[in-house]
Structure 1
Amino acid sequence: MAPRANWKGFLRLSLVTCPVALFPATSESEKVSFNQINKNTGHRIKYTRVDAETGEEVANEDIVKGYKVDTDTYIEVTKDELDNIALESTRTIDIDEFVKREEIDPRYIIRPYYLTPDGKVGHDAFAVIRETIRELDMVAIGRVVLTNREHIIALEPMEKGLVGTLLRYPYEVRSEAEYFDEIQDVKVTKDMLDLAKHIVNQKSGNFEPEKFEDHYESALVDLINQKRSGKPIIPKERPRGENVVDLMEALRQSIGSGGAAETKAPKKSAKKPRKAAAGQREMLMPIAGKKPAKETAAKKPAGKQQRKSA
């Protein structure tokens, strides 16, 4: 079942308009999450809002926002005052311009959304806008009001729909000069560069997200499963870092070890990630209690196999 739309309105390119819905393209709900509890009673911790000076609990209707101007000085801003300046949504994403994808600095990217036609009408107009962007091989830049704020949104075609990515404003992006100015200017020799390039060539491939496993998430699942079954928790030894004394020798050793690994890895790499990803999902289900016991039992061997491979 598809999630509920975060926003509904219209997509407009000049005089071409169609009703659309905006859905979150990412989710954090599948990750393991924790609650804070009292270790003596096992009860959840409840937080209350109290006055920092008197220690007395404050009712919700007595809480207002304040902008800090000094140590103990705040400018009080009421909800009515904020509502008065809030941008009224036109419920329309207006496409203002088209730009090349490579011109969008990755630092400006916030989060992606899926954009689809809303309802049975407007599919023709949606397709016209989508295919126009696709044919131009560019990104459409528009504006959308979410939670009283206007955001920049970049629209790109993806299969039958559109992906809309929220972008930051310039004042939200820090200058790299604050961090890069003190980096030393180092002369990299041709020999070092050639060795490093050789390592890169050995590791070159295509980006396939399914090849990557969230090892920490898998470790969390294993930890919880072990504690549920009453098994003892044995701390693992941490690898010790070693200082690199000879950079050239380190590069040469990297080529040697990388080359040996590359000759054996390709056939396994295509299968292992898929098993890891499937095993990870299967292990999550018993904890969340989302699948029936029979289905969980049927998938249990895959989970065990995953833990051995990890």
Structure 2
Amino acid sequence: MASRALWKGQLRLSLVSIPVEIHSARNSGSRVSFRQIHRDSGKPVRYQKTVQGIGPVESDDIMKGYETDSGDYILLEPDEIDAIKLDTRKTLELVQFVETSEIAPIWFDRPYYVVPADDLAEDAYRVVRDALRQSKKAGLGQLTMRGKEYLCAIRPCGDGLLMETLHYETDIRDADPLFSSIADDATDQELLEVATQLIDRKTAPFDASAFEDHYAGALRDLIDRKMKSKKTPRAKNSGDERSSEGENVVDLMDALKKSLKQSGGKSGKSGAGTRRRKAS
């Protein structure tokens, strides 16, 4: 399956702007995933957005609310949030450079691949990649993606660039309260030497292919055995999940009827046409 860009914009270094795309570096499809199934009916469990005392509600009627210290909610319309204009929505500017080793592992969040958006961008892209590689530095900047502004580190990765989102300082808990109870006594020298020898003996270049997810493998083996057994309980797929398009038509019809009722039945044709265009 072709990778889909999560962000498109400009990677900027001073006055140089390079059109780039950002793709997730994580292969989520490699994980074993399950659906929740109702035991008695064998049908998938679905989740509805509901309000206590009202029941299911439509997505158009849902606002974002910020809970205050008093327990009240400050309500925000989606348009008000979208109106917040940040340069980082379309531009990732490298504003500082640091030694790669300076960024402790605790700050790293998720990895992404940064690729040139077209052939014309490749020359400038290679210059930035090679400059970072030669200087052994990582570039720091910020970008807005999926409704959040991220702190990012850019560094060379093979023939391309790797972007890793970083936690902000306020995201990381202070470790002192957890570590303060550990006695700071001197380590037994003989024990230290033995432990160091064990570490030296097991030291080797990092190779991720040398490790495998044993739990995921055991799950796949279990599923294979269950598939081959005639005694395994099974739930038939009734095709309900594939009929979402038909359900959307039903939802649209319900919305149209509600709109007609609210308008008192006047100008029904024009009102329905307007609602249909919004729904699509």
TM range (shorter): 0.7 to 0.9
Cα 1:29–1:110 shift into 2, 3 Å: same
Tell me, yes or no, if the aligned pair for 1:89 and 1:145 is still in contact at 8 Å.
yes
Q: How does 1:298-309 map to 2 (within 5 A)?
A: none
* Structure 1 SS opposite 2:56: coil
Residue identity matched to 1:43: K
The CA distance in 2 between the partners of 1:205 and 1:90, in whole Å, is 42
Partner of 2:41: 41
Q: What does residue 67 of structure 1 align with?
A: 66
Which fold has the larger relative contact order, with Cα–Cα distance below 8 Å and residues 6 or more apart in sequence? 2
Whole-angstrom distance in 1 between the partners of 2:57 and 2:90:
36
CA contact (8 A) 1:89 1:148 kept: no
Q: What root-mean-square deviation, in Å, do the aligned CA atoms of Structure 1 and Structure 2 show?
A: 2.1
Q: How does 1:287-302 map to 2 (within 5 A)?
A: none
Sort the Cα spacing of 1:215 and 1:13 in 2 relative to 1 into closer, same or farther, 3 A.
same
The answer for the alignment partner of 1:137 in structure 2 is 136
Kindly indicate whether the alpha-carbon contact (under 8 Å) linking 2:22 and 2:115 is maintained by their aligned counterparts in 1.
yes
Partner of 1:9: 9
Question: How many Å separate the matches in 1 of 2:223 and 2:35?
Answer: 14
User: Residues 86 and 149 of structure 1 are in contact (CA less than 8 Å); yes or no, is this contact kept in structure 2?
Assistant: no
Cα pair distance change 1:186/1:55, threshold 3 Å: farther
Matching residue's letter, 1:149: K
Q: CA deviation at 1:112?
A: 1.1
CA distance in 1 between partners of 2:115 and 2:128 (Å): 12
CA distance, structure 2, for counterparts of residue 94 and residue 218 of structure 1: 42
What is the CA distance between 1:223 and its match in structure 2? 0.8
Match of 2:205 in 1: 206
Percent identity for Structure 1 against Structure 2: 35
User: Can you give the 5+ residue segments of structure 1 that lack an aligned partner in the other structure?
Assistant: 234-310
Partner of 1:121: 120
Per-residue deviation, 1:8 = 1.5
For 1:304, the equivalent position in structure 2 comes to: none
* TM-score for the superposition, normalised by structure 2: 0.76
Alignment of 1:47-86 (within 5 A): 47-52=47-52, 54=53, 56-69=55-68, 73-85=72-84
Contact 2:89-2:145 at 8 Å conserved across structures: no
1:168-205 deviations in whole A, cap 9, x for unaligned? Answer: 21111111113111223343211211222222223222
When normalised by structure 1's length, the TM-score is 0.69
Counterpart Cα distance in 1 of 2:57 and 2:89:
36
What is the match of residue 109 of structure 1?
108
Return the alpha-carbon distance in structure 2 between the equivalents of residues 56 and 89 of structure 1: 39
* Residue 262 (structure 1) aligns with: none
What stretches of structure 2 of length at least 5 have no aligned partner? Answer: 233-280
Structure 2 counterpart of 1:144, one-letter code: L
